[in-house]
Amino acid sequence: MERLLRIPEVAERTALSRTTIYELIARGDMPSVAVGGTRTRRIRESDLDAWIRGQAQSPSPAVA
């Protein structure tokens, strides 16, 4: 089973604030899954790894 990361874990791995991560999720710029209801979000580790790789290849920042 794939590991689901909590928002604080994502913040630590990306050096982004929790607020920024929630904004990225709300805009659809960072994939996430609902766990136990619509308010609790998790991010698949493989999705985060792919997102990080995409940011490294992107010429412009995804965070405004």
Give the pLDDT confidence of 11-48 residue by residue, as tens digits.
Answer: 999 999 999 999 999 999 999 999 887 788 999 999 99
User: Taking the CB of residue 4, how many other CB atoms lie within 10 A of it?
Assistant: 15
Q: Spell out the residues 6+ positions from residue 10 whose beta carbon is closer than 8 angstroms to its own.
A: 16, 21, 43, 48
Q: Band the pLDDT of 62: cuts 50, 70, 90.
A: low
Q: How far apart are CA 49 and CA 64, in angstroms?
A: 21
What domains can be seen in the chain, in order of their start residue?
A: 4-57 (1.10.1660)
The two structure tokens encoding residue 32: 């996430």
Q: How far apart are CA 8 and CA 31, in angstroms?
A: 15
The two structure tokens encoding residue 53: 């790789």
At residue 61, the pLDDT reads 56
At residue 60, the pLDDT reads 59
| Helices and strands per DSSP (H, E), number in the chain | 3, 3
